[in-house]
Amino acid sequence: MSELSRRDQAVLWHPATHFGDLERTPPLPIHSARGVWLTDEDGRQILDGIGSWWTSIHGHGHPHIVAAIQRQVARLDHVMFAGFTHEPAIELAERLLALAPRDEQVHYGKVFYSDCGSASVEVALKLSYQSRVLTDQPRRRRFAALQRSYHGETLGALSVCGSEAWREPFSALLHDALYLPVPSFPAHEHADLQPGGGYGLGADTPEADRAVALLEAHAHELTALVVEPLIQCASRMNMFGVGFYQRLVDTCRRLDIHVIADEIAVAFGRTGKLFASEWAGRAPDLLCLSKGLSGGVLPLAATLIRAGFEAPFQGDPARSFAHSHTFTGNPITCAAGLASLEVFEAERTLDRLPERVAQMAALRRELADRHPQVIESRQAGLVGALTLDRARGPADGRLSLALREAALARQVLLRPLHDTIYWMPALNIDAAALSRLAEVTSEVIDEVMPR
């Protein structure tokens, strides 16, 4: 164990980390990062196969984003956003509103900044409920969400997480959400995102029928549905079909239930479009963004708000939205977000993405065909997932940890979700690095789960 690791363990409490695992897998000190490569204190380069928890969009240390941050911090580091404003926050909001999905019923008129994904969800939840109070609908105070969903770990966001593993330890503190059944397509392919005429994949499933029935039965008490469009990332990359999302949005519109889309993990090109909701041709009432919003460089979140939604909050000061964050609209983070959008345009990131999506699909299918340990293989955009036969895993049941260790020994960062290995690299990963990611994945599966 390195000296930095020892010092770390003496003073730090890491997220998603068991104290009992620290001897086996101490935190690895990282010295620097460029592109899809992390460099540790010994000079080893480690391929970041998961975008450092789904944040890195253009790779680490992109020079355009770095330069924008440096210019901004030299000019204005921070100013409170209550009663003050600045150009980076205004310009980023203008760009987001111009680029955001829209349809015949919805376009966006306002942006509310916050600091992280959970906070952007909290903002949306509170906006939805307070709007009901202000329009004399106080009984519409309940939220609907999907089974298996994940929306963050602050108490409001945790209350709409559809997994007992996250909710149970804090259940006494959480409000009661209505959880809807969700389909699963374990062989989902990127082409399945194209809905064609009418509804796309997932709309005609039994789960969709039951979800619609529940929304209809509880519409009188529901203020909003919270949903991750297309991919439930923390739920082992469950892909439920674009048609399921379309049908949910249409049902909510018919019943006057707000739609809150949590695109924290899936926006900014992850699925092949700037926003995942674009595949469905539906724009939610409230759109939550974070992770890749700053290019994955700094903590920044935003909630995009349907034009006109703010009307009930106008008038008497008592009608104001009761929510604030100390670092709302920080100039440096907003400058990073602007620079990231500029990189999308300058490097034609989305136009170049289909080639890499096709390469990932070929590598994923080949790996699945070659390994009997792989029982499911799916993809949407540049997000690929392989579910493994856990019965073949280690006797101690720590399959995910064993796979992570084996990959790191080969200088690749993977962090499987239980029995599911996923790939979510930066969008500009090159062909050689993506091939290396697949090669190491193949090796670690055979090492940890012998045939």
pLDDT tens for residues 127-175?
A: 999 999 999 999 999 999 999 999 999 999 999 999 988 999 999 999 9
pTM above 0.85, yes or no: yes
Confidence (pLDDT) at 404: 97
Which residues lie below 8 Å from residue 408, measured CB to CB, with a gap of 6+? 28, 46, 414
Binding residues: 53, 117-118, 150, 262, 291, 324-326, 415
442 vs 41, 95, 225, 399, 449, CA distance in Å? Answer: 27, 41, 39, 15, 11
Binding residues for substrate: 53, 150, 291, 324, 415
Confidence (pLDDT) at 448: 97
pLDDT tens for each residue of 200-251? 999 999 999 999 999 999 999 999 999 999 999 999 999 999 999 999 999 9
Residue 206, Cβ density class (10 Å: 0-12 exposed, 13-18 middle, ≥19 buried) = exposed
Q: What does the domain layout of the chain look like in residue ranges?
A: 3-58+349-448, 67-346
Half-sphere exposure of 205 (CA within 13 A, CB side): 22
pLDDT tens for each residue of 305-335? 999 999 999 999 999 998 999 999 999 999 9
260 vs 25, 74, 174, 216, 236, CA distance in Å? Answer: 38, 37, 19, 17, 21
The token pair at 143 is 């939220």
Which candidate, 333, 186, 197, 194, places its Cα nearest to that of 273?
Answer: 194
pLDDT tens for each residue of 11-53? 999 998 889 888 888 999 999 999 999 999 999 999 999 999 9
Confidence (pLDDT) at 197: 80
pLDDT tens for each residue of 237-296? 999 999 999 999 999 999 999 999 999 999 999 999 999 999 999 999 999 999 999 999
Helix (H) / strand (E) element for 206: namely helix 206-218
Confidence (pLDDT) at 196: 79
Are 274 and 306 in contact by the 8 Å Cβ rule? The answer is no
| CATH 3.20.20.140 given to domain 67-346 | no
Dihedral of CA 434/437/441/443: which sign? positive
Q: For residue 386, what are the β-bridge partners?
A: 377, 421
Confidence (pLDDT) at 239: 98
Strands 258-262 and 222-227, by their bridges, are parallel
Dist CA 324 CA 293 (whole Å): 19
Rg, Å, the chain Cα set: 22
Dihedral of CA 191/193/195/201: which sign? positive
Over residues 112-132, mean pLDDT? 97
Half-sphere exposure of 375 (CA within 13 A, CB side): 9
The token pair at 142 is 């309940």
Binding residues for pyridoxal 5'-phosphate: 117-118, 262, 325-326
SS3 of the chain: helix, strand, coil, percent, to 5: 45, 15, 40
Dist CA 111 CA 134 (whole Å): 20
Are 354 and 91 in contact by the 8 Å Cβ rule? The answer is no
Over residues 406-426, mean pLDDT? 97
Confidence (pLDDT) at 20: 87
Q: How confident is residue 436, by pLDDT bands cut at 50, 70 and 90? A: very high
Over residues 404-415, mean pLDDT? 97
Confidence (pLDDT) at 274: 98
Dist CA 203 CA 429 (whole Å): 33
* pLDDT value at 1 more than 80: no
Which residues lie below 8 Å from residue 187, measured CB to CB, with a gap of 6+? 376, 377, 378
Confidence (pLDDT) at 195: 84
Which residue is it, tokens 């890749």?
292
CATH number attached to the domain at 3-58+349-448? 3.90.1150.10
Confidence (pLDDT) at 451: 81
pLDDT tens for each residue of 356-394? 999 999 999 999 999 999 999 999 999 999 999 999 999
